[in-house]
Structure 1
Amino acid sequence: MRRDMDLIRHILIMVGDSPVPLNATVFVDEAHPFETVAYHIDLIGQAGLADTSITRMSGKAIARAEVSPLAWNGNESLDAIRSDTIWSRVKQRVGATWSMYFTSTMTIR
């Protein structure tokens, strides 16, 4: 599964504005099934952006995922990306950087 930074941003904003921990089901919609949301909550915990609680089934699939208040790094990150205008600029710059990288490293045969 690939990381979706828009989903991570959405989760961080919701958690930053919530006084209580949020279950993954809060973020589930047609574009983001439970498995995708749970994976991204797990990534948020791995990055140290917030406390997370992940319960796995015996096959290692995530059965329950909850994200708690933001950690220091989560608040710092959210402050940097909360604005839609800034977020749009960040995505454009990162996209341009990746495009330039892949264009310069690809060889055409």
Structure 2
Amino acid sequence: MDLIRELMLKLESLPMEYGDNVHIAPDTPAVHVEGYSFSQLAYHLDLIVQAGFTERSKSHPTIGFMFKGLSWSGHDFLDSVRSPDVWDKTKKVASAAGGFTVDLLVATAKTYLETKIKGLIGG
């Protein structure tokens, strides 16, 4: 999940205008993550697409996909786990529970964020 989060942060930061389409592949320099192989990056990029975290304009005949931007659920996921503090705490909870799904990670992160917000507003 660390790689998914890192790739999502990189996808979000791509310098794109509304309506742009960019071919994203495991060897795209803008999404390269040090310490991971081409195959690992390809697999995790596919998982991001399968999870519905991206808006795709069309399939691409080679490895990769045409990226239009993050989907609503992609933004939701990323906004839930963006903070390194929230991400670390979310991973600790998932590890202690002995397993997780993407939905459970997001729910855990949101619960932690809600608790922080309640503390800030005195609720």
* Aligned equivalents of 1:16, 1:9: Cα separation in 2: 11
Q: Give the structure 1 partner of residue 26 of structure 2.
A: 24
Question: Which structure is higher in RCO with an 8 Å CA cutoff and minimum separation 6?
Answer: 1
The SS at the match of 1:31 is coil
Q: Give the structure 2 partner of residue 87 of structure 1.
A: 87
Q: Give the structure 2 partner of residue 97 of structure 1.
A: 97
Aligned residues: 88
Alignment of 1:6 with 2:5, yes or no, is: no
Unaligned runs of 5+ in 1: 56-62, 100-109
* Aligned equivalents of 1:35, 1:46: Cα separation in 2: 16
Does the 8 Å CA contact 1:15/1:67 hold for their aligned counterparts?
no
Unaligned runs of 5+ in 2: 17-21, 100-123
Q: Give the structure 2 partner of residue 42 of structure 1.
A: 46
- TM-score, with normalisation over the residues of structure 1? 0.69
Q: Give the structure 1 partner of residue 55 of structure 2.
A: 51
The C-alpha deviation readout for 1:47-85, integer Å capped at 9, x for no partner, is 000135554xxxxxxx52146211000001000001000
Partner amino acid for 2:13? D
* Aligned equivalents of 2:86, 2:66: Cα separation in 1: 25
